Structure 1
Protein backbone atom coordinates (compact mmCIF):
# COMPACT_ATOMS: atom_id res chain seq x y z
CA UNK A 1 0.00 0.00 0.00
CA UNK A 2 1.33 3.41 -0.90
CA UNK A 3 0.74 5.95 1.82
CA UNK A 4 0.84 9.36 0.22
CA UNK A 5 -0.78 12.00 2.40
CA UNK A 6 1.44 14.78 0.98
CA UNK A 7 4.48 16.63 2.36
CA UNK A 8 6.18 16.47 5.72
CA UNK A 9 3.47 18.52 7.44
CA UNK A 10 0.83 16.09 6.18
CA UNK A 11 2.90 13.14 7.46
CA UNK A 12 3.17 14.79 10.88
CA UNK A 13 -0.59 15.38 10.91
CA UNK A 14 -1.24 11.77 9.91
CA UNK A 15 1.10 10.53 12.64
CA UNK A 16 -0.41 12.78 15.29
CA UNK A 17 -4.00 11.92 14.40
CA UNK A 18 -3.28 8.20 14.05
CA UNK A 19 -1.37 8.08 17.34
CA UNK A 20 -4.16 9.97 19.10
CA UNK A 21 -6.83 7.69 17.62
CA UNK A 22 -4.87 4.58 18.55
CA UNK A 23 -4.53 5.90 22.10
CA UNK A 24 -8.29 6.46 22.28
CA UNK A 25 -9.09 3.03 20.79
CA UNK A 26 -6.77 1.20 23.19
CA UNK A 27 -7.23 3.52 26.17
CA UNK A 28 -3.53 4.33 26.44
CA UNK A 29 -2.69 7.85 25.30
CA UNK A 30 1.01 8.46 25.94
CA UNK A 31 1.36 12.19 25.33
CA UNK A 32 1.78 14.36 22.25
CA UNK A 33 5.30 13.35 21.19
CA UNK A 34 4.81 9.65 21.93
CA UNK A 35 1.49 9.62 20.07
CA UNK A 36 3.14 11.30 17.08
CA UNK A 37 6.01 8.80 16.98
CA UNK A 38 3.61 5.90 17.50
CA UNK A 39 1.43 7.13 14.63
CA UNK A 40 4.37 7.54 12.26
CA UNK A 41 5.76 4.10 13.06
CA UNK A 42 2.21 2.74 12.86
CA UNK A 43 1.98 4.09 9.31
CA UNK A 44 4.94 1.93 8.28
CA UNK A 45 3.61 -1.11 10.14
CA UNK A 46 0.11 -0.66 8.72
CA UNK A 47 1.43 -0.19 5.19
CA UNK A 48 3.57 -3.30 5.54
CA UNK A 49 0.69 -5.41 6.86
CA UNK A 50 -1.75 -4.18 4.22
CA UNK A 51 0.88 -4.99 1.59
CA UNK A 52 1.23 -8.53 2.95
CA UNK A 53 -2.54 -8.93 2.72
CA UNK A 54 -2.42 -7.93 -0.93
CA UNK A 55 -4.21 -4.63 -0.41
CA UNK A 56 -2.50 -2.07 -2.58
CA UNK A 57 -3.10 1.35 -4.03
CA UNK A 58 -2.77 4.97 -3.03
CA UNK A 59 -4.47 5.57 0.31
CA UNK A 60 -4.57 9.39 0.21
CA UNK A 61 -4.72 11.52 3.35
CA UNK A 62 -7.70 9.92 5.13
CA UNK A 63 -6.76 6.42 4.03
CA UNK A 64 -3.27 7.02 5.41
CA UNK A 65 -4.80 7.95 8.76
CA UNK A 66 -6.81 4.72 8.81
CA UNK A 67 -3.82 2.54 7.84
CA UNK A 68 -1.53 4.33 10.33
CA UNK A 69 -4.10 3.99 13.11
CA UNK A 70 -4.46 0.27 12.49
CA UNK A 71 -0.66 -0.08 12.53
CA UNK A 72 -0.40 1.94 15.76
CA UNK A 73 -3.11 -0.15 17.45
CA UNK A 74 -1.18 -3.28 16.46
CA UNK A 75 2.00 -1.78 17.94
CA UNK A 76 0.24 -0.94 21.21
CA UNK A 77 -1.24 -4.44 21.38
CA UNK A 78 2.16 -6.03 20.77
CA UNK A 79 3.79 -3.85 23.41
CA UNK A 80 1.12 -4.90 25.91
CA UNK A 81 1.76 -8.57 25.13
CA UNK A 82 5.52 -8.17 25.46
CA UNK A 83 5.78 -5.71 28.36
CA UNK A 84 2.39 -6.05 30.04
CA UNK A 85 -0.17 -3.32 30.62
CA UNK A 86 1.25 -0.29 32.42
Structure 2
Protein backbone atom coordinates (compact mmCIF):
# COMPACT_ATOMS: atom_id res chain seq x y z
CA UNK A 1 0.00 0.00 0.00
CA UNK A 2 2.91 2.30 0.50
CA UNK A 3 3.78 1.79 -3.17
CA UNK A 4 0.43 3.29 -4.11
CA UNK A 5 1.32 6.44 -2.17
CA UNK A 6 -1.76 6.43 0.05
CA UNK A 7 -2.13 6.23 3.80
CA UNK A 8 -3.99 3.72 5.94
CA UNK A 9 -7.15 5.82 6.26
CA UNK A 10 -7.32 6.27 2.49
CA UNK A 11 -6.61 2.55 2.02
CA UNK A 12 -9.59 1.68 4.22
CA UNK A 13 -11.89 4.10 2.40
CA UNK A 14 -10.73 3.15 -1.09
CA UNK A 15 -10.68 -0.54 -0.14
CA UNK A 16 -14.28 -0.24 1.05
CA UNK A 17 -15.34 1.39 -2.19
CA UNK A 18 -13.48 -1.20 -4.29
CA UNK A 19 -15.00 -4.03 -2.26
CA UNK A 20 -18.48 -2.53 -2.57
CA UNK A 21 -18.11 -2.13 -6.35
CA UNK A 22 -16.90 -5.72 -6.66
CA UNK A 23 -19.77 -6.89 -4.46
CA UNK A 24 -22.30 -5.19 -6.76
CA UNK A 25 -20.54 -6.38 -9.93
CA UNK A 26 -20.35 -10.01 -8.74
CA UNK A 27 -23.89 -9.88 -7.25
CA UNK A 28 -22.70 -10.86 -3.80
CA UNK A 29 -23.72 -9.79 -0.28
CA UNK A 30 -20.74 -9.39 2.02
CA UNK A 31 -21.24 -6.42 4.35
CA UNK A 32 -19.18 -3.33 5.11
CA UNK A 33 -16.26 -4.90 7.00
CA UNK A 34 -15.89 -7.68 4.44
CA UNK A 35 -15.99 -5.12 1.61
CA UNK A 36 -13.10 -3.23 3.19
CA UNK A 37 -11.12 -6.43 3.68
CA UNK A 38 -11.87 -7.59 0.12
CA UNK A 39 -10.80 -4.25 -1.31
CA UNK A 40 -7.53 -4.03 0.61
CA UNK A 41 -6.52 -7.69 0.23
CA UNK A 42 -7.75 -7.64 -3.36
CA UNK A 43 -5.50 -4.68 -4.16
CA UNK A 44 -2.51 -6.48 -2.67
CA UNK A 45 -3.26 -9.64 -4.67
CA UNK A 46 -3.95 -7.78 -7.92
CA UNK A 47 -0.72 -5.77 -7.55
CA UNK A 48 1.23 -8.97 -6.93
CA UNK A 49 -0.27 -10.60 -10.03
CA UNK A 50 0.41 -7.51 -12.13
CA UNK A 51 3.99 -7.27 -10.83
CA UNK A 52 4.53 -10.94 -11.72
CA UNK A 53 3.68 -10.11 -15.33
CA UNK A 54 5.72 -6.86 -15.16
CA UNK A 55 2.61 -4.69 -15.57
CA UNK A 56 1.60 -1.65 -13.57
CA UNK A 57 -1.58 0.35 -13.12
CA UNK A 58 0.41 3.34 -11.93
CA UNK A 59 0.27 4.91 -8.51
CA UNK A 60 -2.27 6.84 -6.51
CA UNK A 61 -5.78 6.22 -5.35
CA UNK A 62 -7.31 5.52 -8.78
CA UNK A 63 -4.81 2.73 -9.45
CA UNK A 64 -5.43 1.37 -5.94
CA UNK A 65 -9.20 1.45 -6.58
CA UNK A 66 -8.86 -0.42 -9.87
CA UNK A 67 -6.49 -2.99 -8.38
CA UNK A 68 -8.77 -3.40 -5.36
CA UNK A 69 -11.79 -3.95 -7.60
CA UNK A 70 -10.01 -6.53 -9.76
CA UNK A 71 -8.55 -8.34 -6.75
CA UNK A 72 -11.85 -8.32 -4.85
CA UNK A 73 -13.63 -9.82 -7.88
CA UNK A 74 -10.98 -12.54 -8.00
CA UNK A 75 -11.40 -13.24 -4.27
CA UNK A 76 -15.20 -13.44 -4.56
CA UNK A 77 -14.88 -15.85 -7.52
CA UNK A 78 -12.42 -18.06 -5.60
CA UNK A 79 -14.69 -18.03 -2.53
CA UNK A 80 -17.61 -19.17 -4.69
CA UNK A 81 -15.54 -22.06 -6.03
CA UNK A 82 -14.83 -23.31 -2.51
CA UNK A 83 -18.43 -22.91 -1.30
CA UNK A 84 -19.83 -25.26 -3.93
TM-score over 0.5 for the alignment? Answer: yes
Per-residue deviation, 1:63 = 1.1
Whole-angstrom CA distance in 1 between matches of 2:4 and 2:64: 7
CA distance in 1, matches of 2:5, 2:65: 9
5+ residue gaps, structure 2, are none
Could you tell me which residue of structure 2 aligns to residue 59 of structure 1?
59
Partner of 2:45: 45
Indicate the residue corresponding to 1:32 in structure 2: 32
The C-alpha deviation readout for 1:39-72, integer Å capped at 9, x for no partner, is 1110111111111121136321111100111001
The worse-fitting range, judged by mean Cα deviation, of 51-60 and 33-42 is 51-60
Contact 2:19 2:72 in 1 (8 A): yes
Task: Tell me which residue corresponds to 1:23.
Answer: 23
Q: Which runs of 5+ in 1 are unaligned?
A: none
With structure 1 as the length reference, what TM-score do the two structures score?
0.86
TM, length-normalised to structure 2: 0.88
Aligned length: 83
- Which 4+ runs in 1 deviate beyond 6 A? none
